[in-house]
Amino acid sequence: MNRFGIFVAAVAGCLAMTISVSAANNVSTHGTKMKTKKFSIAFVNDIHAQLEPHPELFWQGDESERVHNAGGLSRIATAFKQLEAQRPHGMLKIDGGDTFQGSGPGAWTQGEVMVRPLNALGFDLAIPGNWSVAYGAKQLQTLSEKVNYPMIAANIFDAKTGERSFRPYLVKEVNGVKIGVLGFTDPDVPSRQPPHMSEGLNFQAAKVLQPLIDELRNEEKVDVVVLVTHIGLHKAVPLTRQLRGVDISLSADTHERTYEPIEVGDVWVVEAGAFGSLVGVMDITMSEGKIVDRQWELIELREDKFAEDEQVKKIVDEVLAPHRERMNREIGHTDIWLERYNVMSTSMDRLIADAVKESAGTDIALSNGFRFSPPTAPGPITEADLWNWLPLNLEIKVGKAYGQQLIDYWESEFENVFSKDPLRMYGGWLARPSTNMNVQFDSTAKANERLRSLEIDGEPVDPEKSYSLAAGARKGQPEDQIHRVKRCHVTKQIEQTTHDAVRDYLANQGDVKDTGKPPVRCVVRPEVLRSQYLDFIKRRQQEHEADPHEAELLDENAQHDDPQTTVNSSSDSSKKETKDE
Ligand SMILES: [Zn+2]
């Protein structure tokens, strides 16, 4: 068996599952039972400043999709209490990052609004996410001092002093088991986020990790090493594969919901969705310093299953009180659900891209495949919704590009999302064009050969014709770049921002009744694709069965193609395209 092979544990259903590793057979040897010790870990990630309960879309396998009211820090509190009560042996509570940014109140207070409720949840530790620098390096430091638990990161350094900004790891003892927890934040933060955000910080690549794992093992003498990463599931899996001595790998950033853990050798890699709508719990049984049994359950924090904790609810109400009036200000009305859980195209993003196009008066508009925001229910659309959809208010940039540039742009976007090498994937989903663009592609074709047809207003795009385009402008982006279309001409920033565009659009359009046809369509996949990477694994698994050589080749690629995420390489983020989902 190829010990580096990845496979999704093939256990159907969403309930807790148990896979006993081989050592389990030794628990009882020669009739004498060895002493076992248990501990548990509760894990949340990518809360994105969603303090309150909200509608959430749930799906699983082929099961039909369901919307439930879910989440809220008050509901996380209830879940933590219940899980702890069921586990008298002890449980660590870990936050995988991207906690302080993603909502209006988060942005208006530079994350401060999160501090009090978070401090009531009793976390043992957290790691910074890529958006933890949203309010600058200094504010990240301030927030990390205000929360009553440590933030850890092995690879974030003060650019001036060269000192680590956070402790690289933490050693915790639970029920007599010594656990080393190591934090790793995306080394591409300086290019993924607008560069000014992380000014003053230096992010190191994954090469920092192996010596620290060895230190935990050999000097701290821990029994278990837990790696917590905020680099996306598609990178957490190869990274886990390359490191020696990791027992548990907790992943964040891509908001993936691993109802079933991804097995990498003996290690489970898991991610627990986003927005506080889910919490994962892993139960570990140890014997003679080895893991002999483990279970993972991804729990949906639905209103019909978990009540809100009164005390935390009260704190959330108090911290939001000064912002209520602004949050509740109505800017429009929708008759339909607006959601953003699709790799290809979503109703929320169609509305945003069309709003930017209208505001700019250009031929087309482009918007990011953001993962922010839970669904918006039919009813009034408020400022709080707008800030959930677009937590950064960007000035709109307009300019011109030839058809050929748009063709090249789409090929590059497809590669970002559907690369055969997961290390080439970016965290985000496909870019969102205004609905007058029609993009058909084959995701399974080779890089640069995926585009099948490209139309604007029903006419095929002419490579030599010039088109006007608009998109939100990122601070620090090259002047001649619009979204990720390079070398545009006659670019300029207009007075309007992306928020202005959406407000005006909603005011002019009246009730949202329809957001048009999905402008981006994959010719070989169903219209709805909920996960970029879990789907990738599933396909690869199928291909592996058909042709074992292909999987081996992909493993090779994963290990050598991209020096960024390969252990023992240096970080050179300047080469990366910017993408900030
Ligand atoms: Zn993230």
- Give the Å distance between the CA of 99 and the centre of ligand 1: 9
Q: Which of 391, 351, 387 has the alpha carbon at shortest distance from 511?
A: 351
- Give the Å distance between the CA of 387 and the centre of ligand 1: 17
Average pLDDT score over residue span 425-435: 86
Q: Please give the DSSP secondary-structure letter assigned to residue 443.
A: T
Residue 398 CB partners (closer than 8 Å, separation 6+): 360, 362, 468, 469, 470, 482, 491, 492, 493, 494
Of 311 and 577, more confident = 311
- Give the Å distance between the CA of 3 and the centre of ligand 1: 29
- Give the Å distance between the CA of 372 and the centre of ligand 1: 10
- Weakest mean pLDDT among 11-20, 158-167, 273-282, 290-299: 11-20
- Give the Å distance between the CA of 427 and the centre of ligand 1: 8
- Give the Å distance between the CA of 252 and the centre of ligand 1: 7
- Weakest mean pLDDT among 430-439, 454-463, 529-538: 529-538
Average pLDDT score over residue span 468-493: 94
Of 558 and 158, more confident = 158
pLDDT per position as a tens digit, 62-85: 668 889 999 999 999 999 999 999
- Give the Å distance between the CA of 265 and the centre of ligand 1: 26
Distance CA 513, CA 337 (A): 9
- Give the Å distance between the CA of 428 and the centre of ligand 1: 10
- Give the Å distance between the CA of 392 and the centre of ligand 1: 14
- Give the Å distance between the CA of 231 and the centre of ligand 1: 7
Binned at pLDDT 50, 70 and 90, residue 61 comes out as low
Binned at pLDDT 50, 70 and 90, residue 525 comes out as confident
The answer to whether 339 and 420 are in contact (CB under 8 A) is no
The answer to whether 426 and 417 are in contact (CB under 8 A) is yes
- Give the Å distance between the CA of 26 and the centre of ligand 1: 40
**330-522: CATH homologous superfamily?**
5'-Nucleotidase, C-terminal domain (3.90.780.10)
Residue 111 has pLDDT above 70, yes or no: yes
- Give the Å distance between the CA of 254 and the centre of ligand 1: 6
Of 530 and 259, more confident = 259
Structure tokens at 536: 């990738």
- Give the Å distance between the CA of 271 and the centre of ligand 1: 12
- Give the Å distance between the CA of 198 and the centre of ligand 1: 14
Predicted structure pTM score: 0.89
Residue 556 has pLDDT above 70, yes or no: no
- Give the Å distance between the CA of 176 and the centre of ligand 1: 33
Percentage of the chain exceeding pLDDT 70:
87
β-pair type (466-472, 395-402)? antiparallel
Binned at pLDDT 50, 70 and 90, residue 427 comes out as low
Distance CA 367, CA 376 (A): 18
Average pLDDT score over residue span 433-448: 96
- Give the Å distance between the CA of 348 and the centre of ligand 1: 20
- Weakest mean pLDDT among 2-6, 145-149, 434-438: 2-6
pLDDT for residue 561: 33
- Give the Å distance between the CA of 6 and the centre of ligand 1: 23
- The CATH number of the structural domain formed by 37-49+66-315 is 3.60.21.10
- Give the Å distance between the CA of 431 and the centre of ligand 1: 17
- Give the Å distance between the CA of 98 and the centre of ligand 1: 5
pLDDT per position as a tens digit, 245-275: 999 999 999 999 999 999 999 999 999 999 9
pLDDT for residue 119: 98
Secondary structure E strands in 221-289: 224-230, 248-252, 262-264, 267-271, 278-287
Average pLDDT score over residue span 548-575: 33
Report CA torsion sign: 57, 63, 64, 66. negative
pLDDT for residue 48: 98
pLDDT for residue 529: 84
pLDDT for residue 6: 35
- Give the Å distance between the CA of 391 and the centre of ligand 1: 13
pLDDT per position as a tens digit, 179-237: 999 999 999 999 888 889 999 999 999 999 999 999 999 999 999 999 999 999 999 99
Residue 27 has pLDDT above 70, yes or no: no
Per the prediction, the chain carries an average pLDDT of 88
Q: Would you say how long the chain is, in residues?
A: 581
- Give the Å distance between the CA of 433 and the centre of ligand 1: 23
- Give the Å distance between the CA of 147 and the centre of ligand 1: 19
- Give the Å distance between the CA of 270 and the centre of ligand 1: 15
pLDDT per position as a tens digit, 302-347: 999 999 999 999 999 999 999 999 999 999 999 999 999 999 999 9
- Give the Å distance between the CA of 390 and the centre of ligand 1: 15
- Give the Å distance between the CA of 96 and the centre of ligand 1: 9
Helices (H) and strands (E) in the chain, counts: 15, 30
Helix (H, G, I), strand (E, B) or coil at 417: helix
- Give the Å distance between the CA of 374 and the centre of ligand 1: 15
- Give the Å distance between the CA of 120 and the centre of ligand 1: 23
Q: Domain-by-domain residue ranges, the chain?
A: 37-49+66-315, 330-522, 532-566
- Give the Å distance between the CA of 36 and the centre of ligand 1: 36
Average pLDDT score over residue span 506-520: 93
Compute how many other C-beta atoms are within 10 angstroms of the C-beta atom of residue 25. Answer: 10
Report CA torsion sign: 324, 327, 332, 336. negative
Collect contacts of 547-554 with beta carbons under 8 A, ≥24 apart.
Answer: 551/2, 551/5, 552/2, 554/420, 554/421
β-pair type (278-287, 290-300)? antiparallel
pLDDT for residue 544: 58
- Give the Å distance between the CA of 253 and the centre of ligand 1: 3
- Give the Å distance between the CA of 456 and the centre of ligand 1: 33
- Give the Å distance between the CA of 101 and the centre of ligand 1: 10
- Give the Å distance between the CA of 46 and the centre of ligand 1: 6
pLDDT for residue 554: 27
Distance CA 537, CA 395 (A): 38
Phi and psi angles of residue 131, each rounded to the nearest 5 degrees, phi first? -90, 5
- Give the Å distance between the CA of 206 and the centre of ligand 1: 17
The answer to whether 466 and 400 are in contact (CB under 8 A) is yes
H or E element that contains 369: strand 364-369
Residue 156 has pLDDT above 60, yes or no: yes
Percentage of the chain exceeding pLDDT 90:
77
- Give the Å distance between the CA of 129 and the centre of ligand 1: 5
pLDDT for residue 23: 38
- Give the Å distance between the CA of 347 and the centre of ligand 1: 22
Q: Which of 170, 122, 114 has the alpha carbon at shortest distance from 143?
A: 114
The answer to whether 369 and 430 are in contact (CB under 8 A) is yes
